[in-house]
Chain A
Amino acid sequence: MYIFVWVRIRSLKNIFKDYFHHRNFSFFIIVFSIFVSTLGIYLAVWKGLNFLVSLGGIGSIIINKLFYILFFIIFFMIAISFSLLLYSFSFRNRETEFLISLPIPYYKISLCKFLEAVILSSWIPLVTLVIFIAGYVKISNLSSLLVFSSLIYFLPFLLISSFFGYLVYVVVLKFFSFKKTVIFAIFLLVIFYFIGKPNYKNTGDILYMLSDEIIFIKLSRLWFLPFSWVTRGLINLEEGKFLRSFLFLANLVSLTLVGISFILNKGGEIFLELFYKYSIPKHRGYYYKSSWEKVLDNSKLPRWFINFVIKDIKLFMREPTLWSQFLIFFGLLFFYFINLRKLSYHNLDPIWKNLITFLNTFSILSIVSAFGIRFVFPQWSLEGRNYWILKLSPLPLKKIYLEKFLFSSIVMSLVSSLLIFISNYMVQIERFTSYLTSSIIIVGSFSLVSFSLGLGAYFADFKVDYYLKAVESWGGFITLVLNFAYVVITAFIFILLTHFFILRSEMPLKRVVILIYYIWVAISVFLGLLLTNLGFKKLKAKEY
């Protein structure tokens, strides 16, 4: 195992050295961005918790619920992300084939891939959790030792989440086809729904909202599931009930050990079986024209445009890691939004409804931003070895750029506007906020796509053969920071503005909101055009 760790560390060291010696400016920007992002998240958490503490008793109850929900969400986020990463690392990575041809025991290759996926899927949640705890410790005047001791709880929790993802990965890949997987996912959702179903009638008042009867809170507090053990362990630790806290830690550690021993004993065997099943094509697939293709074929749109759109849709649909992420993340949001009525959010005070609507807008834009980085950014790099076809074709690069932009932004804005429409309808928000959030979503989607595509063109690397490699590059990092900053600033401005608007409900303030909205649109368009221009020029000048 040591040698695998050595290879990763060496590679990282060489990348680091390269940036430090040859790309001083890039290195400085990366360090600075990491520092500013961490500080920004810490300040946001600190401010948010401060606000909740200022509410008194209700605030403490909300913080308590937040802890449960945070670990609940992170558990599933890591599990989903882990299973997709493990699939990519194992069967979409040429390193696997190389390692299998060497005299290395399969369980070691499997363990190496497992740990790699654990680290990559959980480092962001880990940083988020530490920042959250650090903010909480500061607000509650607790000992900073709590931050360090909470790490003892986090690490087994991250491994258990990954192990859950591993089980899903094994079950789906080993036994299921696409149809069976969808049925399995619906079955799991139904089970969770019945476990989390409220015992009492939904009264919709604040006491009900703060009780444990809300489906997500109820699920997050289930005593027999590991995400509640962390929260319970930490709450007991904070209250000085060390023995109880240790009991939950022991639960976490023992489940982690079960997971590790399973991977060590069965991991190699499962890995090899799945490698033979998925890594090498097992049949010659025959693909015929589908009906959607025929519809597009017969449309009045320009021929070149149709052909590129058909190619992009096909490539997207034939890469399971791409469409599955798209389905999972937008699907989860969809599931959450259509259940908003059950959560009685439409009965809340306008100020809370407004906050929920903008948080929903923020979550949709965050997912659009993430998809911008994952799908739109690598598009130019993935043209890779085929770029000469584009370069030699009589079709101007401008048209190809336009197709990529229109295709991605129309798809993204359609999906996201449908989601915000459902959210607004369910929350029964008033017309002004509804129009505002919808237009923010549409402009935001177009902007995020133009940022990602522009930077993708600027940092295009034709040597990459898989989309994750492009995403992990320096350009991918810059796009991540820029997209994330854009989403956070947008959410922050509009939440604050509309908050004041509702508090005071005066016409001049409404005009201010509209004015700020126009300025925001202008800045978005300007940034989009700037990055498009930069990327396009660089791409055009690029030598193959």
Chain B
Amino acid sequence: MFVVRAENLYKRFNEHWVVENLNLSIREGEFYCLLGPNGAGKTTTLKLLVGLLKPTKGKIYIGGFSLDTMAEQAKKLVGFIPDTPFLYENLTAIEFLEFIGTIFYIDKDTLKERINFYLDVFGLEEAKNILLRDYSHGMRQRIIYIANLIHKPKVLLVDEPLVGLDPQGINLIKRVLKEKTKEGMAIVMSTHILQIAEQLADRVGIMDRGKLIVEGSLEELKKKIKEGSLEDIFFMLTQR
């Protein structure tokens, strides 16, 4: 079953088309990587999928709910990690996570249990009562992952997921995300790091100038293009 469906999606900023005729279908438990050079329309696509931008044309469905007419129901199923996430600086980690839990109507005991579990997984147990303004960049990244995992979204949209993380952090995030896909969560990730896509993705989509120029599993892409690595494919398709 598809958890994300985008049909004939267009987005125009004045006369400039940033997304053009995009069709996207993501299955439950699928890890989908969106690749492309700067300005290809990856971040715009993710913002469209979470409702931060309104499509000029086209429809988006999350878990069967239209993002246009049933926005609340659709957003309950989504987690979104932007490249520079927002945090309430004067709240502690625990307070911030409680806020998120309340927004998603998670009952108190379950919320407490999940918060403790993820704080432990992400190694933030000791820092849980520190104000978020005093967190380092890596800690902030980790807390935003926890905030997006505690409500068990059906789909997680991630924009440049590993910016500013140390090798341990990167390893941890990769492991957690892979585990989540096994539990049925779909992940749509926009990244510049081709190795990540090679290691994690079930399917890869390459965007350029607002268009999805190619899509498929790594093997399919390799067969289609008859080239070596993902890097070769990427450079060949996005050459200007």
Give me the interface of A with B, judged by CB distance under 8 Å: 3, 6-7, 10-12, 14-15, 18, 94-95, 97-98, 100-106, 276, 280-284, 463
Contact = CB atoms under 8 A, between A and B. Distances in A.
Nearest to A18: B131
B14 A282 contact: yes
A281 B13 contact: yes
B16 A284 contact: yes
Given A98-B85, A103-B73, 8 more contacts: A6-B99, A10-B90, A97-B52, A101-B50, A101-B78, A103-B71, A103-B75, A282-B13
A379 to B, nearest CB: 21
B52 A100 contact: yes
A283 B18 CA distance: 10
Interface in B49-104: 50-54, 71-76, 78, 80, 82, 85-86, 88-92, 95, 99-100, 102-104
A7 B99 CA distance: 7
A10 to B, nearest CB: 6
A105 B72 contact: yes
A102 B72 CA distance: 8
Contacts of A100: 51-52
B169 to A, nearest CB: 21
A431 to B, nearest CB: 55
A455 B182 CA distance: 55
A98 B51 CA distance: 11
A14 B92 contact: yes
Nearest to B92: A14
Contacts of B73: 103
B133 interface: yes
A3 B103 contact: yes
A283 B114 CA distance: 42
A398 B100 CA distance: 46
Interface string B1-34: 0000000000001111000000000000000000
Interface residues of B, number: 34
A276 B88 contact: no
A15 B50 CA distance: 32
A443 to B, nearest CB: 39
A6 B98 CA distance: 11
A76 to B, nearest CB: 33
The list of the 3 closest CB pairs from A to B, nearest first, reads A283-B14, A11-B90, A103-B75
B93 to A, nearest CB: 12
Nearest to B86: A98
Contacts of B13: 281-284
Contact of A283 (B16, B53, B74): B16
A98 B16 CA distance: 26
Nearest to A280: B53
Most B CB within 10 A of own CB, among A15, A100, A281: A100
A95 B85 CA distance: 10
A12 B90 CA distance: 8
B80 A15 contact: no
B86 A97 contact: yes
A17 to B, nearest CB: 10
Contacts of B100: 102
B103 A103 contact: yes
Contacts of B75: 101-103
A101 B76 CA distance: 10
Given A7-B88, A7-B99, A14-B91, A276 B16 contact: no
A106 B71 CA distance: 10
A380 B103 CA distance: 36
Interface string B131-175: 101000000000000000000000000000000000000000000
A41 B85 CA distance: 43
A463 B103 contact: no
B220 to A, nearest CB: 32
Contacts of B15: 283
Contact of A10 (B51, B95, B103, B133): B95
Contact of A11 (B71, B72, B91, B102): B91
Interface in B104-132: 104, 131
Nearest to B50: A101
Contacts of A7: 88, 91, 99
A97 B86 CA distance: 8
B78 to A, nearest CB: 8
Nearest to A465: B84
Given A11-B90, A276-B53, A276-B54, A103 B99 contact: no
Nearest to A463: B133
Nearest to A272: B54
Nearest to A2: B102
Given A95-B86, A282-B13, A463-B133, A103 B50 contact: no
A519 B85 CA distance: 53
A272 B92 CA distance: 30
A11 B88 contact: yes
A106 B78 CA distance: 17
A100 B53 CA distance: 10
Nearest to A97: B52
B99 A101 contact: no
Contacts of B53: 276, 280
A257 to B, nearest CB: 27
Given A282-B14, A284-B16, A14 B90 contact: yes
A337 B90 CA distance: 44
A100 B72 CA distance: 10
B68 to A, nearest CB: 11
Contacts of A97: 52, 82, 86
Nearest to A100: B52
A18 B99 CA distance: 21
Given A100-B52, A104-B103, A282-B14, A94 B86 contact: yes
A15 B72 CA distance: 32
Interface string B38-54: 00000000010011111
Contacts of A12: 90
